[in-house]
């Protein structure tokens, strides 16, 4: 007789905060919940949403964030809430809240991660380090993802971490992380999960860079603003390369033609957030003066995802749950090229829950226009 799923997923499109949480909690309810992770639209009344979460999931560790779109059992949706619950029968979880990111220091982050790891290792149901992974949810407008991600991964050592930067439905005003029963800005939540279930962390992207060099010649690095490329106004030079007028640049162009930087022979996407009237470009990732960028073109976003998920299935068998952090620009590109419905079906087939992000984390690196995630299988390991 097969075991019941120990990871449950849910999704509600109710516009009322209390009704949405009630519907979600009913779908993911199970005995002895170790952890609930959720992702919600910033259009909800977040104060009412927090009250409802605390009422419907009392005494349960709940972590979440606002989004630029949600992913759940119904696929890509907006103005909704999605979530996943983990059974204490197969998982142990600890959560830490890292606040005041504007004053963040590397040593603080490293010590924070190490303290949380010791907390996990001291729990009675802890298995071993090889069966643990981390999930980072961080304020997507903090402009602190690079140092936070690097420091936390350094503190975790061999335990790998994925994550996503919270969104606010592309308003670009304020993003929120839910931890300790409240929504917080300028904050991050690190979740460490130890499980007897098999899992794999993964990332996928689908871009090939062109040959034309774009040298960053003037930058406001602190705010991720590139003022000049090749000695010319940044937006105008980028627009020339992608063959549009600067005043015509939209998020669709940035989604279709991101820029990449090569690190150790591998292209890493550095996505553009928006252009400004002064001719500058604001990025989702840190950019330094002197960096050589190249405009990239997308290949087959659907085909790349199919290959990645097929490899996960071959390794894990049936995937009972998959947490995913998917760049908002991937969703926009899929909508533009007509593949969004097919991508939605793929994610649904693999029990994905997650969100459209303002940036992704994999290991100690903050990246863009990528899908990062963890796929969790169904068969419990017995050699513990």
Burial of 246 (0-12, 13-18, 19+ CB in 10 A): middle
Q: For 71-130, how does the pLDDT look when each residue is reduced to its tens digit (9 = 90+)?
A: 999 999 999 999 999 999 999 999 999 999 999 999 999 999 999 999 999 987 777 878
Euclidean distance between the first and the last CA atom of the chain, given in angstroms as a whole number? 22
Which among 164, 102, 162 is positioned nearest to 137, based on CA atoms? Answer: 164
- What's the predicted TM-score (pTM) here? 0.89
Rounded Cα distance between 236 and 348, Å, is 40
When pLDDT is cut at 50, 70 and 90, the band that residue 49 belongs to is very high
Mean pLDDT score of the chain: 92
Which among 11, 29, 78, 155 is positioned nearest to 335, based on CA atoms? Answer: 78
Q: For 119-160, how does the pLDDT look when each residue is reduced to its tens digit (9 = 90+)?
A: 999 987 777 878 999 999 999 999 999 999 999 999 999 999
Q: For 309-363, how does the pLDDT look when each residue is reduced to its tens digit (9 = 90+)?
A: 999 999 999 999 999 999 998 898 888 889 999 999 999 999 999 999 999 999 8
Q: For 4-42, how does the pLDDT look when each residue is reduced to its tens digit (9 = 90+)?
A: 789 999 999 999 999 999 999 999 999 999 999 999 999
Q: Which strands, in side-by-side order, build the sheet including 365-367? A: 91-98, 188-195, 132-138, 161-165, 360-362, 365-367
- Locate 344 and state its tokens: 């939605």
Q: How far is CA 22 from CA 43, 78, 84, 275, 375, in A?
A: 17, 18, 14, 40, 26
- Locate 266 and state its tokens: 């591998």
Handedness of CA 123, 364, 205, 275 (dihedral sign): positive
């Amino acid at each position: 007789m097969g075991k019941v799923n120990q990871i449950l997923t849910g999704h509600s499109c109710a516009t009322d905060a209390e009704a949405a949480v009630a519907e979600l909690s009913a779908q993911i309810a199970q005995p002895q919940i170790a952890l609930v992770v959720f992702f919600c639209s910033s259009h909800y009344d977040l104060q009412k949403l927090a009250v409802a979460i605390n009422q419907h999931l009392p005494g349960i560790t709940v972590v979440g964030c606002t989004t630029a779109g949600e992913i759940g059992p119904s696929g890509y949706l907006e103005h909704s809430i999605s979530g996943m619950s983990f059974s204490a029968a197969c998982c142990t979880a600890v959560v830490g809240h890292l606040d005041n990111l504007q004053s963040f220091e590397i040593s603080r982050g490293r010590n924070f991660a190490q303290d949380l790891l010791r907390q996990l290792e001291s729990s009675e149901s802890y298995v071993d380090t090889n069966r643990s992974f981390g999930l980072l949810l961080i304020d997507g407008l903090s402009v602190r993802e690079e140092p936070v991600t690097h420091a936390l991964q350094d503190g975790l050592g061999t335990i790998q971490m994925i994550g996503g930067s919270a969104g606010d439905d592309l308003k670009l005003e304020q993003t929120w992380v839910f931890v300790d029963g409240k929504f917080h800005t300028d904050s991050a939540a690190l979740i460490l999960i130890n499980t007897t279930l098999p899992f794999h962390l993964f990332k996928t992207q689908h871009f090939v860079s062109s040959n034309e060099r774009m040298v960053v010649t003037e930058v406001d690095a602190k705010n991720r603003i590139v003022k000049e490329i090749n000695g010319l106004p940044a937006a105008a030079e980028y627009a020339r390369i992608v063959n549009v007028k600067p005043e015509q640049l939209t998020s669709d162009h940035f989604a279709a033609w991101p820029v990449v930087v090569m690190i150790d022979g591998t292209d890493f996407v550095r996505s553009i957030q928006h252009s400004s009237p002064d001719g500058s470009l604001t990025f989702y990732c840190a950019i330094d003066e002197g960096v050589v960028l190249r405009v990239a073109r997308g290949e087959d976003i659907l085909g790349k995802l199919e290959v990645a998920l097929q490899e996960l299935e071959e390794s894990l068998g049936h995937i009972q749950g998959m947490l995913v952090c998917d760049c908002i620009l991937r969703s926009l590109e899929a909508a533009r090229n007509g593949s969004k419905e097919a991508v939605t079906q793929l994610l649904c087939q693999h029990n994905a829950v997650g969100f459209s992000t303002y940036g992704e984390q994999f290991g100690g690196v903050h990246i863009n226009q990528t899908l990062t995630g963890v796929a969790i299988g169904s068969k419990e390991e017995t050699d513990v």
